[in-house]
Amino acid sequence: MTPIIPSIIEQHAEEAAFLWLLRDAAIYQPHYDLEDLVELDERIEAHLDGLRLANNTGWETAQAALSWEEPGEVFTAAVLAIESSEIEKFQAVLAAGLSQPELTRAIISALGWPAINKVNYFINQLLEATDAEQRYLGIAALAIHRVDPGYRLNNAIWDENINLRTRSLRAAGELGRQDLLPQLLQQCQAADEATRFWAAWSATLLGDREQALEILKMVSLSPSVFNQRALSILLRSLDINQATEWLRVIAQDHKRLRYLIIGMGIVGDPGHIPWVITQMNDPEVARLAGETFTFITGVNLADQDLEGDEPENKVTHPTEDPEDESVDLDPDEDLPWPKPALIQAWWREHQAEYHSKTRYLLGKPITIQHCQQVLATGLQRQRIAAALELKLMQPSEPLFETRAPGVRQQHWLKRS
């Protein structure tokens, strides 16, 4: 029998936690694709295996790390607790992880990690709990597995607990529950913004193009934390002329320049490309404009030798200036720097291949087949876009879950 070395077990726990944090960021980043996620998942699994093989020592090491109150450690302990089927271990994770939203997200991720048949027991326990926060975990877990909670969802969209209510409203759209559309439209009139937004978001995914879009319009122009999500669904749901008009509304406020560039990538009209290329001369938005160019044309800047070097006058965030209170990382850090002159020349040569007033995603008009191809081969932000486009074309179908374990996503794609 191989002896258990505590320092090695601790290293497995630390690496599993760190890699989960890396993955949690990667699912929204512009330079990861599905194969990258699969590779990252395998690395996480390798360290979880080290803890599994250590049996009680592995669990005790993971449990001790819960005191750090960090999401990666909560995820690691939660996976081990779920796989043990021991309610006491899972209760220990809940006690540590329900105290902060980022820790709760880690528990949900752990519930989504194994196959559904391996987590059904705990999910059912959560759904039957008197505590609304635990029922929230149960609804969220089923939603990320794309399993319909049935009547429980019907009840939860009216729950007094805002976390449970809003997650359930979101799940209705993700799961294709068109039978709940009348209730969602009622919730579009709710007093709190989160309820109104998620009700409108799901109602739009389920096919409404009237009342819900009016809510999304208001949210998209507000300082809300939901404004970019609202814009993403809104512009995809309007016809191309209406979407262009909404871009003009956004353009009236120069402070919304980034927002406008993102919006042009969502709309996908090649008629906007000349303006997008001009924005590549501004170091503050150059890389974002390059991403929008790729979203419309499908051109990989590096592959076409259209990638340049970072400008010397670019201010890196966060700065070392003690007077600068911003600690936010550069949102475009992992995007390539475009070469505007070369891109302009490329566009002059190829623009006849694209048709204005047609919506493109990565160089092709948006169709079900093309979106499925992007889900298989695109980068994460591109895959998220393809999943939304596909859902809007098929309102009764589930929204493809681009955050799920990579192998599971590959299995779903083979079945589609």
Per-residue pLDDT reduced to its tens digit, 10-46: 999 999 999 999 999 999 999 999 999 999 999 999 9
What six digits make up the tokens of 65? 């790390």
SS3 assignment, position 323 = coil
Q: What pLDDT does residue 6 have?
A: 86
Does residue 56 sit within a domain? Answer: yes
- Residue 2: pLDDT band (50, 70, 90) is low
Average confidence (pLDDT) over 73-81: 98
Residue 180 is assigned to a structural domain of this protein: no
pLDDT value of position 258:
98
**Does residue 128 form part of some domain?**
yes
With respect to residue 89, please indicate whether it lies within any of the assigned structural domains.
Answer: yes
Is 33 in a helix, a strand, or coil? strand
Cβ-based neighbour number of residue 380 at 10 Å: 20
Query: According to the model, what pLDDT value does residue 322 have?
Result: 54
Residues 347, 342: Cα–Cα separation, whole Å: 9
pLDDT at residue 329, as a whole number: 78
**Which bin fits 284, alpha (ψ -120 to 50), beta or left (φ > 0)?**
alpha
Domain assignment present for residue 407? The answer is no
β 307-308/364-365 pair status? unpaired
**What pLDDT score does 312 carry?**
78
Q: With 60 as the cut, is the pLDDT of residue 177 above it?
A: yes
pLDDT tens profile 289-300: 999 999 999 999
- CA gap 104, 126 in Å, rounded: 13
Closest by Cα among 36, 15, 21 to 105: 21
pLDDT at 1: 52
**Is the pLDDT score of 317 beyond 80?**
no
Distance linking the first and last C-alpha atoms of the chain: 45
Instruction: With beta carbons less than 8 A apart as the criterion, state whether 402 and 409 touch.
Output: yes
- Residue % of the chain over a pLDDT of 70: 95
Sorting pLDDT into bands at 50, 70 and 90, what band is 313? low
- Give the whole-angstrom CA distance, residue 267 versus residue 292: 10
User: Is 30 among the domain residues?
Assistant: yes
Residue 355 pLDDT more than 60?
A: yes
| For residue 50, pLDDT beyond 90 | yes
Question: Would residue 184 count as lying in a domain?
Answer: no
Give the domain range for residue 102. Answer: 1-146
At residue 193, the pLDDT reads: 97
Residue 340 has pLDDT above 80, yes or no: yes
Give per-residue pLDDT as tens, 205-215. 999 999 999 99
Residue at 123 is within a domain: yes
Average pLDDT for 393-398: 98
Asked if pLDDT for residue 222 goes beyond 80, the answer is: yes
Average pLDDT, integer, range 375-384 = 98
Q: How high does pLDDT run on average in the chain? A: 95
Q: Closest by alpha carbon to 330, among 279, 295, 285?
A: 285
User: Is the pLDDT assigned to residue 315 strictly greater than 80?
Assistant: no
Contact assessment for residue 404 and residue 375, using Cβ atoms and an 8 Å cutoff:
no
- Encoded amino acid at 266, one letter: I
Provide the pLDDT confidence category of residue 354 given band limits of 50, 70 and 90.
very high
Quote the crossing angle between the two packed helices 286-297 and 340-350, to the nearest 10°.
Answer: 20
**Beta strands in 81-195, from DSSP E residues, in sequence order:** none
The mean per-residue pLDDT over the stretch 152-171 comes to 98
Name the band, by pLDDT with cuts 50, 70 and 90, for residue 320: low
Tokens of 296: 């419309």
Count up the domains in the chain and report the number. 1
Given a contact cutoff of 8 angstroms between Cβ atoms, the answer to whether 34 and 381 are in contact is no
Query: What angle (nearest 5°) sits at the alpha carbon of residue 249, between those of residues 246 and 254?
Result: 130
